[in-house]
Amino acid sequence: MDAKIKPIRGTKPADGRPEFQPAELDPSEFLEVAVQPDQPRPSRAEAEAAVKTLLSYIGENTEREGLLDTPRRVVEAYDELFQGYHQCPKEVLERTFGETAGYDDFVLVRNISFTSHCEHHVMPFYGKAHIAYTPVERVVGLSKLARLVDIFGRRLQTQEHLTAQIAAAIDEVLKPRGVAVLIEAEHTCMSVRGIAKKGATTFTSRYTGVFRDNPAEQARFMSMVRDRG
């Protein structure tokens, strides 16, 4: 999905020098359900026919016993793997809680497992997401952060876009003092095809607010993510 970008909100440096403004996704592009009820879409029969065409393209006999139900199974798998197009990220984050007893440090949820699919080859990439945010008065349920990762992950993605979407959604809906997102993943489009380098891991990160403006907060976030004790 293409998305517009806009300047990220932040503070002006005290020395008055021009501040670098990293790009931010426009929330209107991704905070709502991606597929609208009235959006034209192929029928299920057309989708299954497309799978059959691909099987024929690679040289398979689509009438042999082992492949008779494959088109149906593939479409059913797509319904599950890409259900994020039908889910609303904003709704996941909007239910918050105010019983924080004045808590003013960041909240970190690390090691959120996920699987997504590369938009270039429609091949899986998988790994872990680590998310922190510094709340202002109200907090969101911890499971909602994991749910947010799943919603964006169950769409065709690049890892960079996935990282930016997660950070921007939290920043826009919760309006915290800052957000930090780190994603580490292995891409099968790199490990099982092409250069075929199994085990190569890609890291992407995104910081807003106090995490972007304060290197000490970034370092503390990374230290807690890496602390295996």
Provide Rg for the chain, Cα atoms. Answer: 20
Cα–Cα distance measured from residue 50 to residue 178, given in angstroms and rounded to the nearest whole number: 45
Q: Are 227 and 221 in contact (CB under 8 A)?
A: no
Q: What is the dihedral of CA 194, 195, 197, 202, to 10 degrees?
A: -80
Provide the token pair at 179: 């957000």
Q: Is 46 a catalytic residue?
A: no
Query: Per the residue annotation, which of 118, 157, 165, 172 is the catalytic one?
Result: 118
Q: Is 86 a catalytic residue?
A: no
Q: Is 118 a catalytic residue?
A: yes
Q: Is 88 a catalytic residue?
A: no
Query: Per the residue annotation, which of 46, 94, 120, 137 is the catalytic one?
Result: 120
Cα–Cα distance measured from residue 97 to residue 95, given in angstroms and rounded to the nearest whole number: 7
State the amino acid at position 32 in one-letter form.
E
DSSP string of 73-101? Answer: HHHHHHHHHTGGGGS-HHHHHH-EE---T
Burial class (CB in 10 A: 0-12, 13-18, 19+), 20: exposed
Q: Are 90 and 32 in contact (CB under 8 A)?
A: yes
Q: Is 120 a catalytic residue?
A: yes
Query: Per the residue annotation, which of 94, 119, 137, 160 is the catalytic one?
Result: 119
DSSP string of 104-159? Answer: -S-EEEEEEEEEEEETTT--EEEEEEEEEEE-BSBEE-HHHHHHHHHHHHTSEE-H
State the amino acid at position 142 in one-letter form.
L
In the DSSP assignment, the letter for residue 136 is: B
Query: Per the residue annotation, which of 87, 159, 165, 218 is the catalytic one?
Result: 159
Q: Is 187 a catalytic residue?
A: yes
Q: Is 117 a catalytic residue?
A: no
Active site residues: 118-121, 159, 187, 189
